[in-house]
């Protein structure tokens, strides 16, 4: 029986393999979101739901700000700053939860239609619901990464889970950068 020593070479191989898998997942997930975006324009091309412009701008600002703090958390751990990593990832988690409250807790109940009422409502709730599900899974991922960071599992040299969480979080933010104008700004309100 041989025992495998976890050398820097095997860690690098595992990290590279995991990084490839992460990017393949993100590319496949991008197709799902792209399909939702195409559906929005196909089903109600020049129209948009009459949603709260203020709330849309606020949740967008919150989500984009969370991306800055996630970037800071990733940079901090890559420089061995565990305290900065912890602080910034907690802010990211809080802003992610605030985004969910804004979209699911405030926007959904005040939307000018109910679930399944028409094509516009179906597309709106599917787009925002799918995105909210990804934000929720991202928040859970960040909580796990934070907890593992507090347990000392990440070092300046070995912190791929933080990098993966950051890449996923930024992907979710980029999706919203496309969804926000498609739902809140483009077309005339009906």
Mean pLDDT of the chain: 90
Cα-based distances in Å from 48 to 39, 68, 123, 161, 182: 13, 29, 11, 38, 8
pLDDT over 80 (residue 46):
yes
Domains in the chain with CATH codes: 53-189 (1.20.120.80)
Question: What are the start-end ranges of the H helices in 44-81?
Answer: 53-78
Please tell me the pTM assigned to this model. Answer: 0.89
Q: Say what the pLDDT of residue 7 is.
A: 57
Q: Say what the pLDDT of residue 2 is.
A: 47
The structure tokens listed for 72 are: 């800071």
Instruction: Please calculate the CA angle 27-28-33 and round it to the nearest 5 degrees.
Output: 90
Mean pLDDT, rounded, for 78-84:
93
pLDDT over 60 (residue 8):
no
Mean pLDDT, rounded, for 2-29:
75
In the chain, the DSSP E strands lie at: 47-48, 188-189
The C-alpha atoms of residue 118 and residue 132 are separated, in whole angstroms, by 21
pLDDT tens readout for residues 101-138: 999 999 999 988 888 788 888 899 999 999 999 999 99
Mean pLDDT, rounded, for 4-32:
79
């Amino acid at each position: 029986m041989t025992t495998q020593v976890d050398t820097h070479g095997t860690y690098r191989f595992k990290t590279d393999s995991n990084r490839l898998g992460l990017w393949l997942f993100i590319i496949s997930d991008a197709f799902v979101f792209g399909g939702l975006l195409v559906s929005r324009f196909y089903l109600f091309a020049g129209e948009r739901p009459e949603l709260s412009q203020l709330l849309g701008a606020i949740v967008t600002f919150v989500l984009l700000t969370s991306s800055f703090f996630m970037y800071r958390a990733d940079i901090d751990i890559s420089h061995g700053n565990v305290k900065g990593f912890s602080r910034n990832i907690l802010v990211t988690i809080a802003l992610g939860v605030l985004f969910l409250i804004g979209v699911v807790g405030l926007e959904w109940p005040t939307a000018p239609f109910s679930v399944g009422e028409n094509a516009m409502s179906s597309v709106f709730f599917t787009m925002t619901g799918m995105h909210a599900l990804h934000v929720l899974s991202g928040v859970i991922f960040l909580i796990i990464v934070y907890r593992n960071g507090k347990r000392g599992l990440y070092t300046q040299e070995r912190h791929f889970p933080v990098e993966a969480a950051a890449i996923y979080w930024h992907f979710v933010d980029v999706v919203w950068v496309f969804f926000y104008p498609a739902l809140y700004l483009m077309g005339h309100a009906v």
